[in-house]
Amino acid sequence: MKRLGILYPPCGAESEYYYYGEGLSAEVRIALIGVRIFGDSDEHAPEYLNRTAEIDNLALSARAMKKLQPDAVVWACTSGSFIGGLEHARGQITALSSILGCPATSTSLAFVAALEHLAIDNVSVLASYPERTASKFISFLAQCGIDTCNYECLAINSGPVAANLDQGSVSSICRALAVPDEAALLIPDTAIPAMHWIAPLERELDRPVLTANQVSLWETARLANVIPEHPIPGRLCVT
């Protein structure tokens, strides 16, 4: 058995981790534990994200996860992993790995790993966040050597609200973004249940589409040495 540990800020797309994660292989089990978040309905504001992203805050949930002995763990919050920049993101996973005694990653770092795997360093971004927060993600990508060609900011203040986005409206926004040749489209909020949108968006745009929960599961499974029987949707997972 391979247990994938998911540290997740409720409430949004938790079901994707069970449906697609345990669908990877008969040997995979998902252990999802919530992380305390701050800001209530304004949780995407940088000042609250900085509190959510504190290593001591993540450690509370990591210690609860430890009894389950995961084979790998992900801090499955894009904004809560990019908000402090690259070095803080690395510090988060170093702390999680130390507490849990297993490999660790975060959604932001998983995006970077996925782009490296696909040999892509140019992206378009559909960000659910307010502009102040979306700009922090663009800066994080730049720190990692990734150029953002264009982006759309939806100015949504919390994950539970972002979870209500629908495929039709997202498809329209993505078409308007006009993702350049040899670039990928990133949808970076783990609250958005976008996994089943990936295949139709890739067909429509003829570009790789990377979503937060997709890259989180993909990288965590790789760290746990899972051999997928049924890959996660998307070009990432068949390349």
105 with 14, same domain: the answer is yes
Same domain, 137 and 53: no
Clarify whether residues 85 and 158 are in a common domain.
no
CB 24 within 8 Å of CB 226: yes
Structural domain for 192, as ranges: 113-211
How far apart (Å, rounded) are the C-alpha atoms in residues 188 and 77?
9
Q: Please, are residues 71 and 3 in contact by the beta-carbon 8 Å criterion?
A: yes
| pLDDT tens-digit readout, 168-209 | 999 999 999 989 999 999 999 999 999 999 999 999 999 999
pLDDT digits (tens, 9 = 90+) for 19-35: 999 999 999 999 999 99
Kindly give the parts of the chain with pLDDT less than 70: 238-239
Give the pLDDT confidence score for residue 239 in this predicted structure.
63
pLDDT score, position 147:
98
Looking at the structure, tell me whether residues 17 and 97 fall in a common domain.
Answer: yes
* Angstrom distance (rounded) from CA 175 to CA 127: 14
Position 237 scores a pLDDT of 83
pTM of the predicted model, to two decimals?
0.97
Q: Are residues 193 and 123 in the same domain?
A: yes
**Residue 187 belongs to a domain with what CATH number?**
3.40.50.12500
- Does residue 70 sit in the same domain as residue 135? no
